[in-house]
Amino acid sequence: MVHNKLLTYQDKRYRYDGFGRMIEKRSALRGVQLFAYDAEHRLIEVRSQKDGRETVVKMTYDPLGRRIAKTEHDSNGYPLGETRFDWEGLRLLQEHRHSQTSLYLYEEDGYVPLARVDGTGEHQSVRYYHNDLNGLPEQLTEADGKTVWQARYQVWGNADEEVREAYFIEEQNLRFQGQYLDREIGLHYNTFRFYDPDVGRFTTPDPIGLIGGFNLYQYAPNPIGWIDPWGWSCGQFKRWKRGQAIDKPLPSGKAPAWDVVRNRYWKNRYEASKASGEFSPANMSRMKRGSAPLDANGNSMELHHHNPQRNGGVDVNNPRNLREVTREQHPALDEFRHLGTK
């Protein structure tokens, strides 16, 4: 270890450039790997050489720094495969590889995967994730409960074993929250950096510098209770729980969107109304899952902001600033709320 750069670990040897970026890795499993970067310190090419065979993986990014494609070629430039990625903010939404398409669904306020939709049309299949405490996928099942994929991991995210059904032709590459396994190079794409599960460290210094801590390559103090979905500074992984503040920040530290706040509000309202008999069983069922109860006209109840959301402010989504109203009452309180629009 020199200046916090890992040089040797077991059979692995590492080399870095003047910016502290890993430019070479040697290992028994993958041979020699050479890494190239662009002016924004983004990994754009990996050349792998082993047993006389060379492959090249190239990455493409959008203006927001999100990877939108990777291609693999042999030493003669012949294409071996291409994967394209679609995003929803900073969460991977969909990937396309050859004729295969997979769409990902996550928890409402984080990066824990819930399900994936593989294929399109009549060949579409929905598979459900079963995750470890930290959101690491351990199993995929069909709607009937049949397991199509499962894995066992080492502490820092390397898979010891993966077992799959023969008909499950897609790859399950989601790893720690916000991470995607690049099987061609053995690294995890982590939004703004790459993570090496062989050693539990990032391959380049933290983009936010010392704000993320003195160890510029550290993933987390431990991977069980901490997450780092963007490859910046890590944070303790704590899901929102019923009874907590509805405007509690997301695990990433960002303020929750209004849809998330509203969902939390009605879940808390359900908890507070269990013994009151205020709502019908049907409406209690709706609130339990985060949906608004229905009024006498069959319309969903709404939440009015005394201080309008458009004015902003730290406490704009605090319960003290909210009032339950019917769809018909809302326009009288807010001139910008018109019936027939949301």
Domain residue limits, the chain: 8-227, 258-333
Fold of 8-227: Porin (2.40.160)
- Check: CB of residue 223 under 8 Å from CB of residue 157: yes
- For the stretch 191-238, pLDDT in tens is 999 999 999 999 999 887 776 667 889 888 788 878 888 887 666 656
Q: Which has the higher per-residue pLDDT, 108 or 132?
A: 132
Domain 8-227 and domain 258-333 have a common topology: no
The reported pLDDT for the residue numbered 160 is: 94
5 vs 14: CA distance, rounded Å: 9
pLDDT, tens digit, 9 for 90 and up, residues 243-285: 888 888 876 667 788 888 999 999 999 998 998 889 999 999 9
Q: Are 159 and 143 in contact (CB under 8 A)?
A: no
| Lookup result for tokens 């390397």 | 158
Task: Say how far residue 314 (Cα) sits from the centre of its chain.
Answer: 26
Cα separation, 288 vs 248, whole angstroms? 19
Residues 258-333, CATH architecture: Alpha-Beta Complex (3.90)
pLDDT at site 226: 81
